[in-house]
Structure 1
Amino acid sequence: MSPLSAVRAALRVYAAGTAVVVAQLLRRCRGGFAEPVFPRQPERVAVVTGGTDGIGYATAKYLARLGMHVILAGNNDRKAEEAVRKIKEETLNEKVEFLYCDLASMMSIRQFVQNFKMKKIPLHVLVNNAGVMMVPQRKTKDGFEEHLGLNYLGHFLLTHLLLDTLKASGSPGRCARVVTVSSATHYVGELNLDDLQGSTSYSPHGAYAQSKLALVLFTYRLQHLLAAQGSHVTANVVDPGVVDTDLYKHLFWGTRLLKKLFHWWLFKTPDEGAWTSVYAAVTPALEGVGGRYLYNEKATKSLALTYDRELQRQLWARSCQMTGIPDGSGDAD
């Protein structure tokens, strides 16, 4: 990518973020964000990736408060031990645990799934939350560009390997749910199927936006296939807004300064950022409903390109090739 193209990609991403921040500020001026109320979820099991920090931690804590058995999937044992302890303490729910899963490693993902299945428990909610944001160009353990490999392909593989358990756990009137976290940057993302890894050019802003765009396309394709199979599983994608987490260390210094000075006013708290994920995971209003892009606990339109069925199919097929799993989706078209 030429320097000019990289600058353009950065400007598009910052413009998308600014629009969200302005909308959040206006909402705070009108009274702020009201915490939603959800029914308890006894006997339900959830897996939350990136559950030791930020939005993932807040999501896991809320689901635990609702009575769920929550499994935090992450790659930091020290943080995980503290996160599990705090969630148990704050929610009085002892059914909170950690399983190691490095989404930058397909071997680790497969090991996580094996360890989970050895527990012989159902899975009612999978929250694909973990991610990196605008990191310098670097590779995952499998040689993928990190945004694509961790944010997208890692969750693509994890979801695929857990689908049989999700399908077995869902039932009529009580579907299992896949909740995938994207962002407003998908609106300015560009998908290059001929060079998904940015091997000929690289922009951290463009790579991040592409990974979030891919997650939306993946969700819509997954929902299409699940519906065609008559599965009692739904898939939705959520936009948490601009949230005060630790993901901003690679952003432009002015953005980091703005966050440091005014995060309490311009940014959502992690709890507020988690509410849409929790909504997608448990609300009765979405029972049996999939293929939605949700923002502030409401369905809204994603980028027009994301509704392109052929593009969804092509990305799915390419993702299967990259992760080494069979693409058995053709019969559902």
Structure 2
Amino acid sequence: MWLISVLLPLARLYLCGIKVLLYQTFNRSFTLPVLPKQNGRVAIVTGGTRGMGFETARHLASLGMHVVIAGNEEEEGKAAVRKIEEEEGSKGKAEFVYLDLTSMKSVRQFVKMFKNRGLPLHVLVNNAGTMLVPERQTEDGFEFHFALNYLGHFLLTNLLLDLLKRSGRHGSCSRIVNMSSATHYAGVLDLDDLNRRKYYSSHGAYSQSKLALVLFTYYLQEQLMAGGFPVIVNAVDPGMVDTALYDNLWTLAQAMKKPVAKILFRTPAEGASISVYAAAASEMEGVGGCYLYNGEKRESSDSSYDCELQMKLWKKSCELAGLP
């Protein structure tokens, strides 16, 4: 039983990876359309110090946004801000604010500090993530992938939701962008063991966290639409991108990945294009509840459309995050 619980998620995840690489072999990366200026709009990008998060923050700042890069590496954050500010094309403003998404306390402190500044919030890009981390728990007792990739963002989004609602207006909605992955197709959600304490698999934990983000996206969009609020939420899939996310691969897999990545993986800028598109494109105005891949709306996994599972995950997440 233990062997199956470990090997099955591994096989599912790598099968997803092969399918994505085949697609990327025969299809060019999505090219962003001309985007409207974003002067006066404020964005928060989690994990914006490097990789796709940095490219997302850089591009939004170049459109005139005030971008808050939220992350837990202060030196990296300051360096990212300097790089954005030095760029000739950057018309907006960038700043770094500390946030540890694995800590519910840190998320609450970040939100309190942000709200005290009196700034509006028009875009929230839930980009930060980790992959294939050995079994590990956070200070709050949550499995690491689940906490960082999903639950921290769930709490962050809910605590900022009132501000997003106030900042948006019909015809110029506030936007929430959740970074998922093709691995969500391999995800299996066990509501009785979200911390995966029965049989730990880093592959299963990662896939589960990405499926949770899609379920969360759809349920939240339904609530926003039902309330008539000027906020939209979409899930995005960047494809396979050559970033530090793959640093935890096994040694053999690392060796095999390096030559393949140079040829078939997307660059961080290419991977970030779908987040930027969801955050700023005119075509996405008022359009929520989508799963976006390579510039197109795609069907996500069958289980992600399970309304009962969406509701149960939402209730369980509220309970775990300490929300009413």
Length-normalised TM-score, structure 1: 0.95
Give the Å deviation of 1:33: 4.5
Could you list the per-position Cα deviations for residues 163-211 of structure 1 after superposition, in whole angstroms to 9, with x for gaps in the alignment? 0100000001100000000000000110001111111111000000000
Q: Distance in 1 between matches of 2:234 and 2:46?
A: 16
Could you list the per-position Cα deviations for residues 239-293 of structure 1 after superposition, in whole angstroms to 9, with x for gaps in the alignment? 0000000011211333322332232211000000001001111111111111000
Q: Which amino acid aligns with 2:292?
A: L
Structure 2 SS opposite 1:97: strand
Paired position in structure 1 for 2:12: 12
Q: Which amino acid aligns with 2:138?
A: T
Q: Distance in 2 between matches of 1:33 and 1:264?
A: 18
Paired position in structure 2 for 1:237: 235
Alignment of 1:1-333 (within 5 A): 2-28=2-28, 33-90=30-87, 91-93=89-91, 95-326=93-324
Once the two structures are overlaid, the 10-residue window that deviates more, 228-237 or 92-101, is 92-101
Q: Distance in 2 between matches of 1:219 and 1:34?
A: 24
Paired position in structure 2 for 1:331: none
Q: Distance in 1 between matches of 2:92 and 2:286?
A: 29
Give the Å deviation of 1:141: 1.6
Q: Distance in 2 between matches of 1:88 and 1:142?
A: 36
Q: Which amino acid aligns with 2:59?
A: Y
Once the two structures are overlaid, the 10-residue window that deviates more, 226-235 or 36-45, is 36-45
Unaligned runs of 5+ in 1: 327-333
Q: Which amino acid aligns with 1:37?
A: V
Whether the 8 Å contact between 2:55 and 2:269 is mirrored in structure 1 is yes
Give the Å deviation of 1:94: 5.4
Could you list the per-position Cα deviations for residues 199-232 of structure 1 after superposition, in whole angstroms to 9, with x for gaps in the alignment? 1111000000000000000000000111111110
Once the two structures are overlaid, the 10-residue window that deviates more, 253-262 or 317-326, is 253-262
Give the Å deviation of 1:92: 3.4
Q: Distance in 2 between matches of 1:208 and 1:27?
A: 26
Q: Distance in 2 between matches of 1:262 and 1:69?
A: 36
Whether the 8 Å contact between 1:20 and 1:184 is mirrored in structure 2 is yes
Q: Distance in 2 between matches of 1:33 and 1:253?
A: 31
Could you list the per-position Cα deviations for residues 17-74 of structure 1 after superposition, in whole angstroms to 9, with x for gaps in the alignment? 111011111124xxx5434321111111100000001110010001011111100000
Equivalent pairs counted in the alignment come to 323
Structure 2 SS opposite 1:92: coil
Q: Which amino acid aligns with 1:138?
A: R
Whether the 8 Å contact between 1:35 and 1:272 is mirrored in structure 2 is no
Once the two structures are overlaid, the 10-residue window that deviates more, 147-156 or 32-41, is 32-41
Structure 1 SS opposite 2:27: helix
Q: Which amino acid aligns with 1:167?
A: K
Cα distance change on mapping 1:94 and 1:285 into 2, 3 Å:
closer
Q: Distance in 2 between matches of 1:25 and 1:233?
A: 36
Q: CA RMSD for the aligned pairs?
A: 1.2
Length-normalised TM-score, structure 2: 0.97
Unaligned runs of 5+ in 2: none
Could you list the per-position Cα deviations for residues 272-317 of structure 1 after superposition, in whole angstroms to 9, with x for gaps in the alignment? 0001001111111111111000001110100011111111000000
Structure 2 SS opposite 1:299: strand
Once the two structures are overlaid, the 10-residue window that deviates more, 260-269 or 167-176, is 260-269
**What is the aligned-residue identity percentage?**
56
Q: Distance in 2 between matches of 1:159 and 1:74?
A: 15
Whether the 8 Å contact between 1:54 and 1:270 is mirrored in structure 2 is yes
Paired position in structure 2 for 1:329: none
